[in-house]
Amino acid sequence: MDTKSTGTKEKAGRAKSLVIVESPAKAKTINKFLGSEYVVKASVGHVRDLPSGKIGIDIENGFAPDYVVIKGKEEVIGGLRSLAKKSDAIYLCPDPDREGEAIAWHIAEEIGAKNDNVFRVTFNEITKDAILEAMKHPGRINMDRVEAQQARRVLDRLVGYNLSPLLWRKVRRGLSAGRVQSVAVKMVVDREREITAFNAEEYWSVTARLQGAEPPAFEAKLAKYLGRKLELPNEEIVNGALDGIRAAGQFVLSKIERKERKRNPAAPFTTSKLQQESARKLGFGAKKTMMLAQQLYEGVELGTEGAVGIITYMRTDSVRVADEAKTEAREFIETKYGKPYLPQKPPVYKSGKGAQEGHEAVRPTSVMRDPDSVKPHLTRDQQKLYTLIWNRFLASQMAPAVLDQTAFDIDSGDYTFRAAGTVVRFPGFMTIYTEGRDEAANEDDENKEGVLPALSEGAKLEALSIEPKQHFTQPPPRFTEATIVKELEEKGIGRPSTYAAIISTIQDRKYVEKKEGRFAPTELGVVVNDMLVGHFAELIDYDFTARMENELDLVEEGTMKWVDVVKDFYGPFSEKLEKAGEIKRVKPEDKETGEVCDKCGKPMVERWGRHGRFIACTGYPDCKNAKPLAGEAQAARPEPEQTDEVCDKCGKPMLLRTGKFGKFLACSGYPDCKATKPLKTGVQCPEDGGELVERRGRGGRSFYSCSNYPECKFAVWSRPVPKPCPKCNAPFMLERWSKDNRLSYACRIKECGHKEEAGV
């Protein structure tokens, strides 16, 4: 198409062009930029999918998918089809990834648009300049990318549709399995077994606190004996070393090493790095991080500037930065921090293998919108995430930090102690940002560095203290939000755009739970995992799953056919399914307790239910007497967890505590300050814009009401989730759990009546 057709229409009365995006928020922002000659409408996500009541795949006919319009989207499709007939051109503008490409294709198929007037437009940021420039260079739908998404959807349906009924028969009704999610559960189960099987080994350290002619005093670790590395596995060897040190009776600074080291900034954010840092520094889960990032990308109201996207597209594995963004950042750095903070040339970062370099890193659309300038227009959580993204990007364009590293070797007879210190000579990028780190399994104080005094070689030192200390190696820690994303990425499980959904799904299915902020498998998760490992080992093998992801990438690149990927997978998988009837039922058996029901006199047993084990009467269903396990009922409440919330009364940090009726926020200044807050849901109140928070009724049942109570009395009994209703566009839906443990989402508006199952 020639670029003139995308510019201003010159002929009066000419039909308008139709622009279709996914979300109403995105439509609102883009509509402001394009003007009256364009009609901008939202599809509100996908418009077609595989049917929910049947497999929807013709296995005998090349795995052809049978797509149907999603329930509740008929009106949306009808409206778009009507507008398309009146439009001279149709611009499909869903997100610039596989999912967005598939949405664009499904829309085009359903509205019956002619190929010669249907165009695909992509952009990495929603700003006026980016949108107008993208509209000048429209393309066509990339069918390779569509087929890569189709292959993933078909594979996931083949696994979910066939394995879920198997789990119903062999474990418990209502269960489900997913091609990638099951691998993530295995990862958590494997880590838990590593922890259980871990045998701690003893080791020791000896620390001397020394003082020279110049302050300050400093610490040094015993490191060598006769010039060789010294191992301290037990107290006997430590005591022998201490005897030798005491016999020497002196400490001499024998060697000083000084060297200058440069520390380079971290690259700007990819999706996975954003999720990791957000978890480390802000305490946000991957799901919350992506929800907030979506809001910042699609557009926020910035006063007189109106709605504008303030970060680039947040689903990316690339660290590429546009030249104009680099130039703007360099101007900002030189103006605010000075020339010493500006590197000679803009830094160049290398993306990981297979990254889509057409995308950019996650960055602010303009560094001129510093966090303080946008703060009045953002929610507290939006502001935190935006600040993190802004700081990381600006730091990535700054000069390296310059560090002076000093190391002392201190001799005491045949033994040598070592001390290390670092002084920041020039902070560079560290002025605004340093990357967080995850804890190591056996991390202790050994690697901590301090400031060393100005001393000369040969100086005699005084020992203020010599302290031996016993240690034990620690098992690998359970995964946190940050480390589980890191592990998924390293093992090639899923893609950055799917991490949040994977983590959310395995928790929703009750296969994994969080204990004190870390992921642990539930008993149900272990049972399901072991059954799948025993009979479908290849399906949930890490290397096999990573290879499947690579093949999907090849489909997108046009070097592999999607049908071949599915066929190669389904052959061995279907053979395993044929033998599935031989699998024995693996549901944990009831355990005798020795107790007698106080209502009917029949024996009580320990039974396995949706929320774990509990005590129940064997007379069920005639007698429904049940109670929690004694150990659980009397267990000590977990330790309070630190949060980023601040007490409104005294300004001290709020702690996440667990009370009689569940979790809540309480001031760390208790008992001097007894302020508490309910937990937030991340969903806005539809009546006054407050936030819906979890509360407890008199009977202990949870409900969710406006944070501005009692001024606003809006409340619902089911947990609200920030998921727009695809039928009526209500801003959130409600969680529903069926008796057979199936999770679904329902619109809160009765007249709408929309309900959908959580994805398999």
Q: What is the pLDDT of residues 585-623, one digit of tens each?
A: 776 778 888 889 999 999 999 887 766 678 899 999 899
Residue 333 burial by Cβ neighbours in a 10 Å radius (0-12, 13-18, 19+): buried
Tell me the backbone φ, ψ of residue 124, rounded to 5 degrees.
-95, -5
Residue of 38, 91, 297, 313 marked catalytic? 313
The lowest-confidence range among 405-414, 569-578, 740-749 is 740-749
Three-state SS at 518:
strand
The answer to whether residue 581 scores a pLDDT higher than 90 is no
pLDDT at 122: 94
pLDDT of 699: 55
Average pLDDT over residues 151-177: 88
- CB–CB of 406/421 below 8 Å? yes
| Contact between residue 466 and residue 206 where contact means Cβ atoms under 8 Å apart | yes
Query: Rounded to an integer, what distance in angstroms lies between the CA atom of residue 343 and that of residue 349?
Result: 14
Letter string b/e over residues 182-221, b meaning 16 or more CB atoms within 10 A of that residue's CB: bbbbbbbbebbeeeeeeeeeebbbbbbebebeeeeebbbb
The arithmetic mean of pLDDT across residues 716-744, rounded, is 76
Residue 611, pLDDT score: 60
Confidence of residue 11 (pLDDT cuts 50, 70, 90): very low
Active site annotation includes 313: yes
| Residue 448 pLDDT class (50, 70, 90 cuts) | low
559: its two tokens? 């070097």
pLDDT bracket for residue 412 (50, 70, 90): very high
Residues 6+ apart with CB under 8 A from 66: 50, 51, 56, 57, 58
Tell me the torsion sign for CA atoms 175, 181, 183, 185: negative
Which residue pairs from 379-384 have beta carbons closer than 8 angstroms and sit at least 24 positions apart in sequence?
A: 381/282, 381/284, 381/288, 381/292, 381/682, 382/292, 382/295, 382/296, 382/300, 384/282, 384/284, 384/644
d(CA 28, CA 17): 16
Mean pLDDT (whole number) for 733-755: 75
Beta-strand runs (E) in 413-494:
415-426, 460-472
Cβ atoms within 10 Å, residue 741: 17
Range list of H helices, 35-73: none
In this prediction, residue 701 carries a pLDDT of 67
Query: Is residue 183 within 8 Å of 542, Cβ to Cβ?
Result: yes
pLDDT surpasses 70 at 443:
no
What distance in Å separates the CA atoms of residue 689 and residue 708, rounded to the nearest whole number? Answer: 9
* Measured distance CA(293)–CA(347) in Å, rounded: 25
Tell me: pLDDT of 44 over 50. yes
Contact predicate 268/365, CB 8 Å:
no
Give the length of the chain. 760
Q: How confident is the model at residue 165 (pLDDT cuts 50, 70, 90)?
A: confident
Dist CA 699 CA 710 (whole Å): 20
pLDDT tens-digit series, residues 217-251: 999 999 999 999 999 999 999 999 999 999 999 99
Q: Provide the pLDDT for residue 636.
A: 42
Strand pairing class (17-21; 90-92): parallel
pLDDT score for 686:
80
Provide the b/e sequence for 495-516 (b: ≥16 CB within 10 Å): bbbbbbbbbbbbbbbbbbbeee
pLDDT digits (tens, 9 = 90+) for 320-348: 999 999 999 999 999 999 999 999 999 99
pTM: 0.77
Spatial separation of the C-alpha atoms in residues 79 and 113, rounded to whole Å? 13
- Domains of the chain, earliest start first: 3-141 (3.40.50.140), 149-198+478-582 (1.10.460.10), 202-264+401-472 (2.70.20.10), 279-396 (1.10.290.10), 591-633 (no CATH), 641-757 (no CATH)
Choose the weakest-confidence range: 71-75, 272-276, 630-634: 630-634
561 beta partners = none
Amino acid at site 624: K
Q: How confident is the model at residue 710 (pLDDT cuts 50, 70, 90)?
A: confident
State the chain's mean pLDDT as an integer: 87
Condensed to tens digits (0 to 9), the pLDDT of residues 661-679 reads: 556 788 888 878 888 877 7
